[in-house]
Structure 1
Amino acid sequence: MFKIDFQGDKAIEWSRKNGELFREERVYRPTIYIAGENMLLKKIRAETASKTYASQFEEWRTSPGKRPEKVLRIDLERQEDFKSFRNYLRRKYPRPEIRFFHAGLSPQFKYCVEQSRNPEIEGELKSLRLNLSRPRIGQRTLKGLKINCEKYSSESRALERLDREFSGEGPDILRISRSQVLTLIDEKTDFSLGRGSSLEKLAGENTVTAYGKTVHSPSRYSVFGRAVIDESSSFMLSEAGMKGLYNLVSRTWKPLQEVAWASIGNILTAIEIRQAYSNNILTPWKNWQPETPKKASTMRKADRGGFIFNPRPEVYEDVHEMDFASLFPNIMVNKNISPETINCDCCDNSKVPELGYSICEKQTGFIPHTLGPIIHDRSNYKQKDTEYSEKASAALKWILVSCFGYMGHAHAAYGAIECHQAIQAFDRKIMVEAKEMLEEEGFEIKHGIIDSIWASGENVEEACQKVSEEIGIELEHEHHFDWIAFVPRKNSEISTLNRYFGKADGKMVTAGIGMEQSSTPEIVKKCQKEMIEAVYESREEALEILEEYISRVRNREIDLEDLIIEKKITRNPEDYKSTNRSAEAAKRMKRKGIDIRAGQKVRYIVRDQNSRPRVLLDFEEIDRYDNEYYVEKLKSAAESVLRPFGVKKVEKGLEKGLVNYI
């Protein structure tokens, strides 16, 4: 099943088996559950009787650690009534009085979970890719539309091709470069994009700022009988491909379209919701779990974070990188960390180091029960050499990476800050124990952070095996560096914890430096990469590479594509008071009719820092670029490479010779 649509009191399932398209209709009454005082629930039931299809009292658990309690189940006539009815109840009855369950689930997912309908995809689906640049969308033209791999230079020819593609059954999956492509095609064509009705807007665009990051979600659309995948907003598609998405569909029971646009946290929550529902547990809507009051001394310890062993910003030779496999998820599983097991009512054992929290010894927690199969499956996928196993492993990796952070999120459906704190406390203990054990084996520790240790020593495989057996979590030998350089902070002699480069296992390995960052121009990435490849053997040669790139920039011997800067804007164009380069680029886009919002990216070339326009968009005609701006970018990237090798100032090294500045 690749799509579920809703019409009146029907859910329409779309599937393809052995090449044949199937459409199946089922009567569907969406359900909302409400918990609260018995008299109040009876009042709600009576007052809403005329607005609902049916209602009844049922016994459900409202969290993993609780006994079943009476809740009010309300069935609505149609899916389209659900949101307005939920919001009506929310306005009339504030949160302290009643609690809602299964009220925030996406429609297709809610249907699959509550109706026990597995949306796993069987066989091959017909797919159509539609790609159109933002300037063309701004110009409201389909000229330049790419259909699958073919680009059309005229709008009329593109429309003819679309007419052929959508005649008959047409595609099952629409992969679009951005959502505006669908609305533009719908505007330009006289046929329906769907298998019956056409385009439906599910949600408007939205921008949110959380934890210092601004994220933009584009408008979402549904096409009747077809799954829509917006490539501009599908993180999982970019990381794990279609095969990774298929794996997540079978694991979450989120149909393809919903799993494609879902965030990592949303996917993790879907896995938890499905697991909970199978255990007779309802999932709260907009959960809010306040932190338990603590002593100031306990709070200071709880907020320490994970383990860090700060390295000196130097170059080290013959270094091994060792990583604990999925350390935080394994801590949750092995230590039985879950909201209902931390500081439970039945055990008093102070098992959590430093903090003294107790952990239940009488039941396996909900979170370990949920994460265990994911850890196991990913380990199995990593042992296989197939494209599917590679993509499935990549998808599960991101779920495991996010599960720790999501555990501490204020509104996580199955999270608690005490769990978050306990995991970090165990991390600190494990990393210190691993460090001490490695030192006993003769290793010299160079660096350590969260779940990774860099150390020099012999018999690394045996040492990893010993630590793994003692700790109970596998310590993997990730890399053997011939040499590794830890990068200092700018204008400081203190190292940056997650920035390094070196040669390991016959290839260059980098992390966190300029060439890893999307905002770095390609010309700077190329220069930094070549310098890293040369610097260990010859710092003079590395400086010569820098000088060559500076010369090419100043002599305009550069491909303009290599000068493009890509940055995410943090405000809407009209909200910027001071105009930095990215803001100026965003305003230029808006003037050209291109919709750009906070959380989206702009692409531009710096034309001239001292005159207008300072920047030009990547698709505009470039009359010149600011040589010295890009030269400074090259020098800054070069310093990251040279400073661990003792070069104190690149500028002076260029002017007077390297040897005087080591």
Structure 2
Amino acid sequence: MPFTIDFLSDGHVLEWEATVDGAVATERDNYTPRFYVAPRDPAADLDLTTLQSVYDQHPDVVATEMDARRPGFRRDEEAVLAVDVAHIDRVTPLARQARQLSDYPVGDLACFNVDFSREFRYCLETGADPTPANELSTLRLSLPVTETSNDVYGELTVAGDTVTGSPTDLLTAVQGALDAHDPDVLVCSTSEIVPTLYEMATDAGVDDFSLSRWSDVDYQQLASRSTYSSYGRVGHSPARYNVPGRAIIDESNTFFYGETNLDGVLDLVSRSKKPVQELAWASIGNVLTAIQICEAHDRDILVPWNSWRHEFYKPMGTLHDADRGGFIFAPEVGLHENVHELDFSSLYPNIICTRNVSPDVIRCDCHSDRDDVPGLGYSICEDRGYLVDVLQPIIDARDEIKAAIRREKERDDPDEDRLAELEGRSGALKWILVACFGYQGFSNAKFGRIECHEAINAFAREILLTAKQRLEAGGWRVVHGIVDSIWVTPDLDVDDEDRENLETLATAITEEIEIRLEHEAHYDWVAFVPQRESDAGALTKHFGKVAGDDEFKIRGIEARQRSTPPFIEAVQRDCLDRLDATRSPDAVLDCLQDAIKRLHAGTVPVEQLVERNRVSKPLEGYSQNTQNVAALKRAREQDLAIHPGQDIEYVVVDDEKSSRERVALAHEEIASYDASYYETELVRAVESVLAPLGWDRTEIRREIAETRVPELSAYTNPAKN
């Protein structure tokens, strides 16, 4: 079971297996990756012999053969050209040549099994299981932000110990830690640590420094850094590096390791056949795609290089009905007492599995006269769809893990390590289940289909409406509902003895719908926040006090926003405590006034006022002098590289300025801050708390102005002294 796989320049492959005594390498010299070429249209009568003869003469091609495979779930077995390649890096260039031959009209040929990541392809084609047989050892290397752009580091944290000094001092510390721990996984705050350490070793004349377990290769660069846009959001992908014999996890470029832990990563390794290193940098969609590719491979289905699924014909009326999202019941703005939250367990994945919604069976030809999808008239074949086989094991596994978590927490002495493992695995599976629905509508999805996306939404709307009607008939009033969750409170027009028990109702709805409706939480009260410029309720902003607990559930407001400074978050949470204890706006305003006094007195630590914002474009791309621009100017002045898609952290020191003096970067020595600016941010945060009670920003400021005791400090700004 190799936990990492290396590809050498001569075409040989190294499989690294973790053992109790360290990692053992097995060298393979007979691996030849394979891709396929077939007619795009199954009805086309194309002769592939010309293409085969071209590939037979290519020096990077080991062999070709005509094979019988299925180029899609809706296609039967047919003749395709299989091409075996000498080196894994030559697969894509060779596949691209199939599109350039004048003997075949453009668009008539399609390539399959082309754009797989390297280690994943190897595991898929050879049957190797990348799940480690033994526990992996790790070593963490991290840099302070001030060192990230330097060619020579002056400070580096190695296995938790901060090392400063000359390059030789740092290299000696790293080499010593490698020798002592012999880690299978290098966890780096940035992958740029790898090439920089080697450059430092070369410049310092340290010949015996090496991160690698294979003496012939120090490291390899797998990809350059890049900036991308996804759903309107700019992201940054750092350069990726490989060190033979060790997996690298780049903390600046990992979703699953950051959101879960190594246990969560390893759970998905076993399901996706993507080894640790590739799983760590992969996106949710990338991992879901890998799991689906594994299922397609098991069914002997080829994977298209580019998706070209046409949308089935629909009348205008069907287009209108299908182009709708999930269920939304507008929240009743205000503070509601005695509220219960009910959630359908993994609603969309369970709809897929219980209703057999899958790209290969939706709108099948064999049942075209059936109306299986409510309101849309789509048919669904009785054959089991492949997507069900992909998701059902994940749903079942997560249910089992959640049950194990509950049992562990109920113990008198819970095992914290065991809990961390279970919660990491549960979290990783949750993200896959969250993504499976949206993937069906993604234009570049390997196997997605928009009709599946539409059908899932149609079933979801029907399910939530059924639940709403059943709850209301049982004596409960729905105060909010969105996608898979419903908030209810007792209907005061119904006598207590006539109101059905909520647990009994949930069980009855579960049996009718065949998807478990769970009682998520009971709240002493829940407040639904209005939109900023409207009296209508904001769909995703609410907060509430969990009954019998000191915990608040918070969604959408400042305390849950990643850019909010810690001080603003803490004050908002204090305001929630005051509101819970008193139900009084005055108590909340007292909390606000106290925070404002501390701000103007200059007693708030500057590290509690750090804002973190994402950079969306290069400095030259901004036309307005925003705070981000000021921060980017300061970063450039200090030779710090901040790329689009990365975060920048700063404190606002004088918001009236438009130059780089407007802010100070978080790592700088900061003497003062702009109290007036942070006061405005405080008022905004408190408005979120009081808005459900009918207060807006204007009223809050008026009340503060009337009750504030004038002091000299109230008229001075510590940033300008």
* TM-score (normalised: structure 1): 0.96
* Mapping of residues 298-317 of structure 1, within 5 Å: 298-317=318-337
Equivalent in the alignment of 1:644? 692
| Counterpart position of 1:32 | 35
**What one-letter code is carried by the residue in structure 2 that aligns with 1:4?**
I
Residue 405 of structure 1: aligned partner: 438
Secondary structure of 1:53's counterpart equals: strand
Structure 1 residue 90: deviation in Å? 4.2
Specify whether residues 247 and 209 from structure 1 end up closer, same or farther in structure 2 by C-alpha distance, changes over 3 A only: same
| Stretch of structure 1 that moved more, 80-89 or 523-532 | 80-89
Q: Give the counterpart letter for 1:644 in structure 2.
A: P
Compare 381-390 and 199-208 and name the one that shifted more.
381-390
Whichever residue aligns with residue 588 of structure 1, its letter is: R
Q: Alpha-carbon deviations, 1:129-169, whole Å to 9, x = none? A: 00002311223332221111111132443221112234499
Once the two structures are superposed, the pairs formed by residues 442-457 of structure 1 within 5 Å of their partners are 442-457=475-490
Between 1:615-624 and 1:462-471, the stretch displaced more is 615-624
Residue correspondence of structure 1 range 422-441 to structure 2 within 5 A: 422-441=455-474
Matching residue's letter, 2:380: I
- The residue that corresponds to 1:459 in the other structure is 501
Q: Give yes or no for contact 1:138–1:592 (8 Å, CA) kept in 2.
A: no
Paired position in structure 2 for 1:514: 558
Any conservation in 2 of the 1:55–1:73 contact (CA below 8 Å)? yes
Q: CA deviation at 1:41?
A: 2.1
In 2, the alpha carbon distance for the partners of 1:90 and 1:258 equals: 29
Q: Distance in 1 between matches of 2:237 and 2:629?
A: 19
1: CA distance, partners of 2:7 / 2:151: 31
Aligned residue type for 2:542? Y
Distance 2:572 2:423 in 1: 30
Amino acid paired to 2:163 = Y
Q: 2 CA distance for matches of 1:450 and 1:541? A: 35
Q: Partner letter of residue 468 of structure 2? A: K
Q: 2:270 aligns with which of 226, 232, 250?
A: 250
2:4 counterpart residue number: 3
Amino acid at match of 1:33: Y
Per the alignment, residue 277 of structure 1 pairs with 297
Equivalent position amino acid for 1:473 in 2:
I
> Does 2:421 align with 1:371?
no
Work out the CA distance in 1 between the residues paired with 2:471 and 2:332. 19
Q: Is the 8 A contact 1:287 1:411 kept in 2?
A: yes
Instruction: State how far apart, in whole Å, the 1-side matches of 2:351 and 2:135 are.
Output: 39
* Alignment root-mean-square deviation, CA: 1.7
1:81 is matched with: 90
Aligned equivalents of 1:173 and 1:569: distance in 2?
Answer: 30
Question: Is this contact kept in 1: 2:55–2:64, CA < 8 A?
Answer: no
Which residue of 1 is the match for residue 57 of structure 2? 50
2:287 to 267, 272, 289: 267
Counterpart contact for 2:137–2:181, Cα < 8 Å: no
Shift of 1:71: 1.1
Structure 1's 588 and 475: CA in aligned 2 closer, same or farther, altered over 3 A?
same
Name the residue aligned to 1:23.
25
Question: Once the 2 structures are TM-superposed, how far is the Cα of residue 586 of structure 1 from its aligned partner?
Answer: 2.1
Q: Which residue of 2 aligns with 1:132?
A: 143
Aligned counterparts of 1:635 and 1:116: Cα–Cα separation in 2: 59
Taking a change above 3 Å as real, the CA distance of residues 40 and 221 of structure 1, as seen in their structure-2 partners, is farther
**Match for residue 413 of structure 2?**
none
Q: What per-residue deviation string (whole Å, max 9, x for no partner) do you get for residues 215-267 of structure 1?
A: 11111111111111101111100112000111111111111100000000000
Question: What SS does structure 1 have at the residue aligned with 2:27?
Answer: strand
Following superposition, the deviation at residue 595 of structure 1 comes to 1.8
Q: Is the 8 A contact 2:602 2:672 kept in 1?
A: no
1:502 aligns with 2:550: no
**Alignment correspondent of 2:578:** 534
Aligned to 2:494: none
Distance in 2, Cα, partners of 1:364 & 1:587:
57
- For 1:260-305, what per-residue CA distance to the aligned partner results, in whole angstroms no more than 9, with x for missing partners? 0000000000000011101111111121323223222211211111
Aligned partner of residue 363 in structure 2, secondary structure = coil
Say yes or no: does 1:41 pair with 2:59: no
User: Residue 384 of structure 1: SS of its match in structure 2?
Assistant: helix
Q: Secondary structure of 2:692's match?
A: helix
Alpha-carbon distance change, 201 to 586 in structure 1, aligned in 2, over 3 angstroms: same
Q: 1:176 and 1:169 mapped to 2: Cα distance?
A: 15
**Range with bigger deviation, 152-161 or 57-66:** 152-161
Matched AA of 1:351:
D
Q: For the Cα contact (< 8 Å) 1:19–1:123, is it kept in 2?
A: no
Task: Indicate which of 670, 678, 688 corresponds to 1:630.
Answer: 678
Pairing of 1:133-532 with structure 2 (within 5 A): 133-155=144-166, 156-167=168-179, 170-189=182-201, 190=206, 191-195=209-213, 196=215, 197-347=217-367, 348-361=369-382, 363-385=383-405, 386-387=418-419, 388-457=421-490, 459-505=501-547, 506=549, 507-532=551-576
**Inter-partner Cα distance in structure 2 for 1:138 and 1:442:** 63
**CA offset digits 1:479-516 (Å, max 9, x no partner):** 10100000111132111111100101312111111110
Alignment equivalent of 1:547, drawn from 571, 583, 593: 593
Partner of 2:324, secondary structure, is coil
Q: Distance in 1 between matches of 2:339 and 2:471?
A: 13
- Cα separation, 1, equivalents of 2:646 and 2:99: 32
Query: Residue type of the partner of 1:19?
Result: D
Aligned-partner Cα distance in 1 for 2:650–2:507: 50
Alignment size in residue pairs = 657
Shifted more, 137-146 versus 46-55: the winner is 137-146
609-618 or 312-321, which deviates more? 609-618
Conserved 8 A contact 1:137-1:184: no
2:705 aligns with 655
Please give the alpha-carbon distance, in whole angstroms, between the structure 2 residues aligned to 1:94 and 1:504: 65
Say which of 578, 590, 602 aligns to 2:624.
578
Give me the TM-score of the superposition, normalised by structure 2. 0.89
Decide whether the 8 Å contact of 2:256 with 2:428 is kept in 1: yes
Q: Per-residue CA shift, 1:508-538, capped at 9, x if unaligned? A: 1111111101111111101101001111313
Q: CA deviation at 1:570?
A: 1.0
- Please tell me whether the aligned partners of residues 144 and 154 of structure 1 are also in contact (alpha carbons under 8 angstroms): yes
CA contact (8 A) 1:19 1:124 kept: no
Give the Cα separation in 2 of the matches to 1:207 and 1:225: 29
Are 1:615 and 2:648 an aligned pair? Answer: no
8 A contact 2:269–2:275 mirrored in 1: yes
1:40-99 Cα deviation digits (max 9, x unpaired):
521111112122100001111122232112111100112232233233334557862211
Does the residue aligned with 2:562 lie in a helix, a strand or coil? coil
**Structure 2 counterpart of 1:396, one-letter code:** L
- How far, CA to CA, are the matches of 1:533 and 1:91 in structure 2? 67
Which residue of 2 is the match for residue 122 of structure 1? 133
Per the TM alignment, residue 10 of structure 1 is displaced from its structure 2 partner at its CA by 1.7
In the alignment, the residues of structure 1 paired with residue 379 and residue 568 of structure 2 have an alpha-carbon distance, to the nearest angstrom, of: 52
What amino acid sits opposite 2:645 in the alignment? G
SS in 2 for 1:557: coil
Name the residue aligned to 2:615.
Answer: 569
Letter in structure 2 aligned against 1:485: A
Segment of structure 1 superposing worse, 589-598 or 630-639? 589-598
* C-alpha distance after superposition, 1:565-585 (max 9, x if no partner): 101111122322323111221
Instruction: Judge conservation of contact 1:487–1:495 (CA < 8 Å) in 2.
Output: yes
Conserved in 2, the CA contact under 8 Å of 1:573 and 1:590? no
Q: After superposition, give the CA deviation of every residue in 1:602-645 in whole Å (9 maximum; x if it has no partner).
A: 10111112233111111112233211111000000100001112
- Output the amino acid matched with 2:401: Y
Deviations 1:550-572 (A, max 9, x none): 11111111111111110111112
Measured in 2, the distance between the counterparts of 1:655 and 1:167 equals 65
CA distance in 1, matches of 2:277, 2:256: 12
CA distance in 2, matches of 1:91, 1:525: 58
Change (3 A) 1:124 1:210: closer
Q: Does residue 70 in structure 1 map to residue 79 in structure 2?
A: yes
